[in-house]
């Protein structure tokens, strides 16, 4: 059985914790605590160390799913969690005030990994009626000289998350 | 913002902790989600980043303790070549981090910090 480590990152409330608990076949390890700052308006709980879940794609492949905290003050956790990862998922909350700069922050930070590691972008919360342009993500990535697949997903939807993960693991195999 | 509210309530107690216990060289109060409430020190450590780091560690402690069904996590101790760091809950929203550079001061560090945490819990009341 081969084990593949994947990391979910992206800004606060993009759906990292939700996506991992949606697809994990083991009870997830969760380090969410009460939010005590202005983020409380958006979320009651926030991840302060990591999320961890597992998913077997078939008899030969087990995915180890790690989630990072989203706030920059937990940036020191990012290199710890990315160590040994073969795939990176950057989730973007489409309904946030400025989803493009959210994405840019994580692209900038993980650039060295993105260049060496299979990476996909997952745009979440597109059902909330916010008028942001999907094309803007592609334009931004193109400007960065990055060819990354962009998926529109609902992190609460198992099928959505699995399709994105399967695309990512296919990229891992070809890398 | 809870951290701002808490700051004036816990600062005098942090000052007292450092005054009462010679061996404690720095102490801080942080929220469980990694915001700094207050800090005091006798050295010149850079403590800012300890707020988020301390909250990560405390939550991992709570998570591991829950995994083993050992009740509440009382404290996490980091014993190092050049000192000891203790992390403990004040209540479910706040964490006390205390630091000594003496390798032999674990008992002192824990007992003073525990009393301080209890006093702080009383001082801030229900959040
Ligand atoms: N309406 C809507 N809500 C979503 C979607 N994806 C995720 N969510 C919700 O957005 C929140 C994301 O929170 P969480 O998973 O804790 O985010 P994290 O900070 O990235 O870990 C949760 O309340 C999810 O139920 C989506 O596509 N549409
Ligand atoms: Mg999370």
CB contact under 8 A, B35 and A37: yes
Q: What is the structure's pLDDT at A174?
A: 73
CA A52 to ligand 2 center in whole angstroms: 11
Phi/psi of residue A94, each to 5°?
-60, -25
pLDDT exceeds cutoff 70 at B2: yes
| Contact A94 CB / ligand 1 (< 6 Å) | no
Q: What is the structure's pLDDT at A26?
A: 97
* Average pLDDT along chain A: 95
| Alpha-carbon gap, residue B8 to B25, rounded angstroms | 20
Cα–Cα separations (whole angstroms), residue B125 to B8, B9, B93, B121: 14, 10, 11, 6
Q: Is B110 on the interface with A (CB under 8 A)?
A: no
For B81-90, give one letter per residue: b (16+ CB within 10 A) or e: eebbbbbbbb
CB contact under 8 A, A33 and B60: no
| Alpha-carbon gap, residue A76 to A111, rounded angstroms | 16
| Alpha-carbon gap, residue A121 to A12, rounded angstroms | 15
CB contact under 8 A, A48 and B55: yes
Determine the residue of A15, A20, A35, A69 to mutate for testing ligand 1's pocket, defined as the one with the most ligand atoms within 8 A of the Cβ atom.
A15
Q: Select from A52, A78, A72, A175 the least CA-distant residue to A119.
A: A175
> Confidence class of residue A175 from pLDDT cuts 50, 70 and 90?
low
Q: What is the structure's pLDDT at A11?
A: 96
| Contact A17 CB / ligand 1 (< 6 Å) | yes
DSSP B103: T
CB atoms within 10 A of CB B4: 10
Phi/psi of residue A131, each to 5°?
-90, 75
**Number of the ligand 1 atom closest to the C-alpha atom of A126:** 27
Q: What is the pLDDT of residues B21-72, one digit of tens each?
A: 999 999 999 999 999 999 999 999 999 999 999 999 999 999 999 999 999 9
Helices A99-116 and A135-143: crossing angle, nearest 10°? 50
What are the E-state strand segments in A61-149? 61-67, 87-93, 118-124
CA A65 to ligand 1 center in whole angstroms: 17
**How many domains does chain B divide into?**
1
CA A43 to ligand 1 center in whole angstroms: 9
Q: Select from B127, B110, B125, B126 the least CA-distant residue to B17.
A: B110
Q: What is the structure's pLDDT at B127?
A: 78
Of A15-19, A105-109, A127-131, B85-89, least confident by mean pLDDT is A127-131
Q: Which residue in B has a C-alpha nearest to residue A72's C-alpha? A: B52
Q: Which domain does B105 fall in, by range?
A: 2-124
Q: What is the structure's pLDDT at A173?
A: 79
* Average pLDDT along chain B: 96
The answer to whether the beta carbons of residues B87 and B57 sit under 8 Å apart is: yes
**Number of the ligand 1 atom closest to the C-alpha atom of A10:** 20
List the structure tokens of A155: 């992190």
- The H or E element spanning position A161 is helix A158-174
Mean pLDDT, range A124-135, rounded to an integer: 87
For chain A, domain boundaries: 2-174
Q: Select from A119, A155, A151 the least CA-distant residue to A43.
A: A155
Cα–Cα separations (whole angstroms), residue B77 to A6, A54, A98: 31, 30, 40
Of A39-53, A130-144, A152-166, least confident by mean pLDDT is A130-144
Tell me the whole-structure pTM to 2 decimals.
Answer: 0.95
Q: What is the structure's pLDDT at A132?
A: 73
Highest CATH level, class, for A2-174: alpha beta
Interface test with A, best of B1, B10, B29, B33 (most A CBs within 10 A): B33
Q: What is the structure's pLDDT at A133?
A: 84
For A107-128, give one letter per residue: b (16+ CB within 10 A) or e: bebbeebbeebbbbbbbbbbee
Non-local (6+) Cβ contacts of A98 within 8 A are none
| Alpha-carbon gap, residue A170 to A8, rounded angstroms | 17
Cα–Cα separations (whole angstroms), residue A49 to A38, B33, B62, B113: 19, 10, 11, 24
CATH code (residue B69): 3.30.450.30
Of A49-53, A58-62, A100-104, B87-91, least confident by mean pLDDT is A58-62
State how far residue B20 is from chain A, nearest Cα, in angstroms: 30
Spell out which residues of chain A touch residue B62, defining contact as CB-CB under 8 Å.
31
């Amino acid at each position: 059985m081969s084990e593949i480590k994947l990391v979910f990152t992206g800004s606060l409330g993009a759906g990292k914790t939700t996506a991992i608990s949606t697809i994990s076949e083991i009870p997830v390890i969760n380090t969410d605590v009460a939010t005590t700052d202005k983020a409380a308006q958006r979320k009651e709980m926030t991840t302060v160390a990591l999320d961890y879940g597992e998913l077997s794609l078939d008899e030969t492949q087990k995915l180890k799913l790690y989630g990072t905290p989203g706030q920059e003050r937990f940036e020191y956790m990012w290199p710890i969690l990315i160590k040994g990862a073969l795939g990176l998922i950057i989730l973007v909350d489409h309904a946030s005030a400025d989803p493009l700069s959210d994405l840019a922050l994580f692209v900038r930070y993980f650039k060295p990994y993105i260049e060496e590691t299979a990476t996909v972008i997952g745009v979440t919360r597109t059902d909330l009626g916010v008028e942001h342009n999907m094309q803007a993500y592609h334009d931004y990535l193109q400007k960065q000289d990055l060819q990354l697949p962009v998926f529109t997903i609902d992190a609460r939807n198992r099928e959505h998350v699995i399709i994105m993960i399967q695309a990512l693991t296919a990229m891992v195999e070809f890398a | 913002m809870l951290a701002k509210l808490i700051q004036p309530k816990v600062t005098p107690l942090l000052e007292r902790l450092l005054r009462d216990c010679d061996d404690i060289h720095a102490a801080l109060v942080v929220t469980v989600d990694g915001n700094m409430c207050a800090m005091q020190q006798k050295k010149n450590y850079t403590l800012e980043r300890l707020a988020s780091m301390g909250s990560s560690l405390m939550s991992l402690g709570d998570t591991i303790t829950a995994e083993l069904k050992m009740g509440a996590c009382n404290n996490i101790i980091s014993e190092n070549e050049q000192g000891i760091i203790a992390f403990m809950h004040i209540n479910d929203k706040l964490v006390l981090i205390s630091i000594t550079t003496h390798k032999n001061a674990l008992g002192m560090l824990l007992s003073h910090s525990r009393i301080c945490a209890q006093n702080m819990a009383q001082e801030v009341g229900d959040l």
